[in-house]
Amino acid sequence: MARIAGVNLPAKKRIEYALTYIYGVGLTRSREILNKLNISFDLRSESLTEKQTSDIQNEVSKYQTEGELRKEILMNIRRLQQIGCYRGLRHKKGLPARGQRTKTNARTRKGPRKAGSQITLKKKVAK
């Protein structure tokens, strides 16, 4: 089992998809890294040699990943909240920050429906 950037890569997966388990490495960056190192995408992560693992580790370390990236994103959101801009206020309230509608959708950000809205539906049906 390969361990890169503090993450254990799944053994049975192809290396191009296994690298995406690292926070901050998507499929495009994974393929870019493997192309640069001339490593086949079809190779399984369990069959990596020590040299290939160390090469991938060195290449991934050039990018901001895992804890550093999470910390930077958190600091950016905190900065928006402190300056009181619109996006910062939306983050504070737990609402979508990029202009999506909230009258009907946005359940992921807003959470489950409140009990009050169900009561009003029952009253309308009873009439």
Residue 121 has pLDDT above 80, yes or no: no
Cβ neighbours for 60, distance < 8 A, ≥ 6 positions apart: 4, 5, 19, 22, 25, 33
pLDDT in tens, 64-120: 999 999 999 999 999 999 999 999 999 999 999 998 999 888 898 888 988 875 655
Residue 115 domain flag:
no
Residue 127 has pLDDT above 80, yes or no: no
Residue 102 domain flag:
yes
Among 54, 75, 66, 70, which Cα is nearest to 20's? 66
Q: Are residues 91 and 103 in the same domain?
A: yes
Burial of 55 (0-12, 13-18, 19+ CB in 10 A): middle
Q: Are residues 9 and 57 in the same domain?
A: yes
Round to whole Å and give the CA distance between 77 and 96.
13
pLDDT in tens, 3-14: 888 899 998 999
Give me the domain span that covers residue 54: 3-63
Q: CATH number, domain at 73?
A: 4.10.910.10
pTM: 0.75
